[in-house]
Structure formats: C-alpha cells, structure tokens
C-alpha cells in the first residue's frame, strides 16, 4: 500500500509540476517580450543578462565581483552559467547557431571569433565608451578578435605558452637555461635531469588527444620545425619531412624523459605533476605560472624559472596564442546592457578593482599593455615579462615559416578544425603510446585530413 500511495503522490507531483512549469513559462515569455509586467524575481525595468563562461579562476573571480557591477548599474541583473570548456562550447555553439537567444554574453576564444563573426552569429562591439581605451589592448590579441576592421569580442584574459623549469634541478645538473632556448638544448637538458627512480622526469608535455589538448602543443611546436597544417592550396602537409621530424622528436623525447602514461596527460595532469615536483620542465599556458608559483598549492613554488617556448632557429617559436573573450550573440535581445557589462569586465578599472581586492597577482593577465607597464604588477608577478614576450612573439596571421592560407597559431580557424584536429590528435596520441608508429600515424593523419577537406570543398577554387 505504501507504494500505491507513493505512486499517487508522484502523479500529483507531475500534474503540479506541469502546471507550474506552464504558468512560469507564460510569465517568462511575457517578461522577455519586453512588456512592463513584472516577471518572476525581477522588477519592472530590470534587465537580466545571462552570461556563459568557463570555470577558470579568473572567471570565478569575476563572478564573485558581480555586486560591484550591479550596484553601479541598478537596472541590470546578472545570471551566471559556468561550465567546463568543452561542455560550454557545445552548449553555446548550439544556441548561437540555432539563434536560441538563451545567452546575452558568451565566453569564446580566438578560434571561434573569426568563424562566428563570418557567420553573422556575433554582434560587433562598436563603441565601448570614452574610458575604454581600445588601443591599450595588446595588438596580437586585438587582431585575433577583429574581423574586417570590427572588434567582435573583448579579451578578458590572454595567454601564450612558455617553458617553466625547476631552477634547483638545473643547478644540480650544472645547466643554465637561456631566456630563449632551442629544442635541442631542451631535449639534452630533459634527458640529463631525468631520474626515473626518484620520479623526476625531464620534461612534461601534453599527450592527451584533442584539438585543444595535444594538438595545441604539437601544432605550435610544428611551427618551429618549419611544418604547417596546409599549403596555400589547402593541401594537408602531414606527408612532409617537417611533420615527421616534429613528431619523431616529440615521441623520442617523451619516451626518454617524459613521465609514464604521458598520452593521457593534459594541462591539469601536468600541473599536478609539476607542482608535486615530478617535472624538470613543462611547456604550457602562461596562466600556469600563477599556479606553480603559489606556495599554497605548489611544492616547488620558490624554485620555478621561466623561459620562452623553444625554437629551432627558423624564426618561429613554439608558443601559441589564446584569449578568452566576451562576445554578444547576434540573437541576444539585450545587447545594450551586454555591451555595458563587457566594457566593465574588460576595462582598466576592472583590473584595478581586482588588484584592490585580491592583489595584483590575481589580475586577469595578457590583455592590456598598461598592466605590463605597471611596476606594482611587475613586482607581484615575476612571470609578467615572460608572459608579455610570449604573447608578443605569437603571430596568428603569420604563424608558420612558410606561408599558409589560414589564421591561427595552434589551430586553423576553419569550422572543420575541431573534428579534424581531434582525429589527428588521436593518431598522434597513439604514436606516443607506442600503439602505432610515427610513420603510420602521419599517414593516417594525412588521409583523415585529405578526406575531410575534400568533403568540405576546400582547394576546388
């Protein structure tokens, strides 16, 4: 009988849910259609902005400073949707492409901006106010977010990649890290430092398959070896000698001086290992500098040094460029309020606000030249100079030794790249794990890319 009663309760619940759901929906649609009637939880004249963002430290800090914005702008309320990067990308892309209008501000990267702007999915930002100082934005970052002369997204934080290393291990081995090392120096040093019995590995690099995982590292690394994704006719280049050298070098280096299970390591796995003292060097995002030098989290905080990403003397280094940026979907009905928020969150005043509350080391890096000229910031962030140099050294419009038809350092800014990049990344991860040979992996990568590019109609013109 208890179960029968339970079933009855459920049916009542269902009915009431359906009814409240419907009622709430009617109320909501009234509210969003701009009528003066109050909608649930908001008073007349209040605009609620739904902001989709990634779960990274700088964004969480922004979320916690919500009140600072809403007090200054009483007519605007903020709703946050924080998600892991891949989940967010899928959700936001579906909504923006289907013009669902669920988000008023989206956090996207330098990969999405040129593609989305070309599809008219984004509203150009236009004028962000007299105090915004758009010329203060770092030129390489600003260029990545500009399409046909119009800024489509404002950078919230920018990053490149650089080499982090353990000064104590280098001293012990009698090595000295140059400011701008070459790959051959890095490989030699990594092999010398490695002490597998003590769980110390010369170098930690990404190995996990994915266009934003191992392919971010390998594409940027390949640039310094003279390799490129496509030639000017959009023909894939994996069958060339440059890619063979790159991949062989990477696989050999990781076999000799990398940690075990490297083909499943991404940013976080390497971060955990570096912080626990298991890595001699680590080439990854510049934002990692703040984590590895934080004594609360890192065992090696006081012995970390920084250097530019390695090169091979061919004029291109192995560093990438990325900026998490705020943009307004064309489908948003609240673009004016959204613009106000973006101007606030990416302004110089916001940087000062975060510095005042949590110190200069917590300020979102990599977007404004004025931040790097600030002596207080330089003092609080010993990695500031190297971050700026790394960002400046990346050139998304001219990323490779030989000319290419695409934009992007560690990616190719075409819609097909997410799929191709991940499929190629799986081949390279298999080569790293020893499941397949370097030659076979490159051969497969070439075939996959050729097939997809043919299917998408590239190179026919």
Partner 1 sequence: MSSRVFPKRKLIFTVVGWLIGITLFFPIIWTILTSFKTEGTAIAMPPKFLFFDWTLENYFEVQDRSNYLQHAMNSVVISLGSTGLGLLVAMPAAWAMAFSPTKHTKNVLMWMLSTKMLPPVGVLVPIYLLFRDFDLLDTRLGMVVVLMLMNLPIIVWMLYTYFKEIPGEILEAARMDGATIGKEIIYVLAPMAVPGIASTLLLNVILAWNESFWTLNLTVTDAAPLTAFIASYSSPEGLFWAKLSAASTLAIAPILVMGWFSQKQLVRGLTFGAVK
Residues that bind partner 1 (CB under 8 A): 3-4, 6-7, 10-11, 13-14, 17-18, 20-22, 24-25, 28-29, 50, 52, 54-57, 60, 63-64, 79-87, 90-91, 94-95, 98-103, 212, 266-268, 271-272, 275-276, 278, 285, 287-288, 291, 296-297
Q: 389 is written with which tokens?
A: 């140099």
Q: How far is the CB of 293 from partner 1 (least distance, A)?
A: 14
Q: Which is nearer to partner 1, 88 or 404 (CB)?
A: 88
Instruction: To the nearest 10°, report the CA torsion of 7, 12, 17, 20.
Output: 180
Q: Which is nearer to partner 1, 47 or 237 (CB)?
A: 47
Q: Which is nearer to partner 1, 89 or 316 (CB)?
A: 89
CA–CA separation, 140 and 152 (whole Å): 15
Q: Which is nearer to partner 1, 322 or 344 (CB)?
A: 322
Cβ-Cβ contacts under 8 Å for 419 (sequence gap 6 or more): 452
Backbone dihedral angles phi then psi of residue 211, each to the nearest 5 degrees: -65, -30
CA–CA separation, 129 and 151 (whole Å): 14
- Residue that has been written with the tokens 């989290």 in this structure: 297
Q: How far is the CB of 98 from partner 1 (least distance, A)?
A: 5
Q: How far is the CB of 366 from partner 1 (least distance, A)?
A: 13
Q: 357 is written with which tokens?
A: 């509350």
- Residue that has been written with the tokens 């020893």 in this structure: 434
Q: How far is the CB of 66 from partner 1 (least distance, A)?
A: 11
Given a contact cutoff of 8 angstroms between Cβ atoms, the answer to whether 270 and 164 are in contact is no
Q: Which helix (H) or strand (E) holds 305?
A: strand 304-308
CA–CA separation, 267 and 285 (whole Å): 8
Q: Which helix (H) or strand (E) holds 356?
A: helix 348-358
Q: Which is nearer to partner 1, 226 or 365 (CB)?
A: 365
Q: Which is nearer to partner 1, 105 or 453 (CB)?
A: 105
Q: How far is the CB of 27 from partner 1 (least distance, A)?
A: 11
Q: How far is the CB of 325 from partner 1 (least distance, A)?
A: 15
Q: Which is nearer to partner 1, 163 or 404 (CB)?
A: 163
Angle at 327 (CA atoms; ends 323, 330), nearest 5 degrees? 145
Q: How far is the CB of 58 from partner 1 (least distance, A)?
A: 9
Q: Which is nearer to partner 1, 106 or 355 (CB)?
A: 106
Q: How far apart are the first and last CA of the chain?
A: 74
Q: Which is nearer to partner 1, 82 or 245 (CB)?
A: 82
- The widest CA-to-CA distance across the chain, in whole angstroms, is 81
Burial 317-341, CB ≥16 within 10 A → b, else e: bbbbbbbbbbbbbbbbebbebbbbb
- Residue that has been written with the tokens 């800024």 in this structure: 151
Backbone dihedral angles phi then psi of residue 362, each to the nearest 5 degrees: -90, 0
Q: Which is nearer to partner 1, 210 or 405 (CB)?
A: 210
What crossing angle do the helices spanning 183-193 and 241-257 adopt, rounded to 10°?
Answer: 20
Q: How far is the CB of 335 from partner 1 (least distance, A)?
A: 18
CA–CA separation, 431 and 440 (whole Å): 8
Q: How far is the CB of 19 from partner 1 (least distance, A)?
A: 9
Cβ-Cβ contacts under 8 Å for 355 (sequence gap 6 or more): 362, 363, 376, 377
Q: How far is the CB of 147 from partner 1 (least distance, A)?
A: 25
Q: How far is the CB of 29 from partner 1 (least distance, A)?
A: 6
Q: How far is the CB of 445 from partner 1 (least distance, A)?
A: 24
Q: Which is nearer to partner 1, 95 or 311 (CB)?
A: 95
Q: Which is nearer to partner 1, 14 or 72 (CB)?
A: 14
Task: Give the CA distances from residue 40 to residues 29, 37, 82, in Å, rounded to whole numbers and listed in that order.
Answer: 11, 10, 22
Strand 279-285 with 153-166, pairing: antiparallel
Residues in the chain: 461
């Amino acid at each position: 009988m208890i179960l029968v009663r339970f079933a009855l309760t459920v049916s009542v619940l269902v009915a009431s849910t359906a009814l409240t759901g419907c009622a709430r929906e009617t109320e909501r649609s009234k509210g969003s259609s701009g009528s003066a009637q109050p909608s649930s939880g908001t008073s007349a004249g209040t605009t609620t902005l739904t902001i989709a963002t990634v779960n990274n430290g700088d964004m969480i800090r922004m979320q916690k400073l919500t009140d600072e914005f809403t007090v200054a702008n009483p007519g605007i309320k903020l709703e946050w949707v924080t998600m892991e990067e891949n989940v967010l990308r899928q959700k936001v892309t579906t909504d923006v492409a289907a013009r669902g209008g669920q988000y008023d501000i989206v956090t996207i990267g330098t990969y999405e901006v040129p593609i989305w702007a070309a599809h008219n999915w984004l509203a150009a930002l236009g004028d962000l106010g007299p105090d915004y100082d758009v010329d203060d934005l770092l030129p390489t970052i600003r260029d990545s977010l500009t399409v046909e002369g119009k800024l489509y997204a404002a950078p919230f934080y920018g990053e490149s990649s650089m080499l982090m290393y353990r000064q104590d291990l280098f001293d012990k081995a009698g090595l000295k890290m140059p400011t701008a090392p070459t790959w051959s120096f890095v490989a030699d040093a990594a092999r010398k430092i490695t002490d597998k019995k003590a769980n110390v590995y010369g170098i930690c690099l990404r190995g996990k398959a994915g266009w934003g995982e191992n392919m971010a590292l390998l594409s940027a690394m390949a640039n310094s070896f003279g390799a490129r994704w496509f030639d000017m006719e959009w023909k894939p280049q994996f069958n060339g000698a440059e890619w063979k050298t790159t991949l062989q070098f990477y696989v050999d280096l990781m076999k000799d001086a990398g940690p075990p299970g490297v083909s499943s390591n991404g940013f976080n796995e390497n971060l955990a290992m570096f912080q626990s003292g298991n890595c001699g060097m680590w080439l990854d995002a510049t934002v990692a500098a703040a984590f590895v030098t934080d004594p609360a989290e890192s065992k090696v905080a006081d012995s970390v040094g920084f250097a530019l990403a390695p090169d091979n003397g061919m004029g291109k280094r192995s560093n990438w460029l990325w900026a998490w940026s705020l943009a307004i979907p064309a489908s948003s009905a609240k673009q004016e309020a959204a613009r106000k928020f973006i101007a606030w969150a990416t302004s110089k005043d916001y940087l000062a606000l975060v510095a005042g509350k949590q110190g200069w080391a917590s300020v979102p890096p990599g977007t404004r030249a004025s931040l790097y000229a600030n002596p207080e910031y330089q003092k609080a962030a010993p990695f500031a100079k190297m971050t700026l140099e790394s960002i400046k050294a990346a050139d998304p419009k001219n990323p490779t030794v030989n000319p290419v038809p695409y934009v992007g350092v560690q990616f190719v800014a075409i819609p097909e790249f997410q799929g191709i990049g991940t499929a190629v990344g799986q081949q390279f991860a298999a080569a790293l794990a020893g499941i397949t040979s370097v030659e076979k992996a490159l051969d497969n990568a070439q075939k996959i890319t050729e097939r997809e590019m043919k299917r998408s109609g590239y190179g026919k013109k």
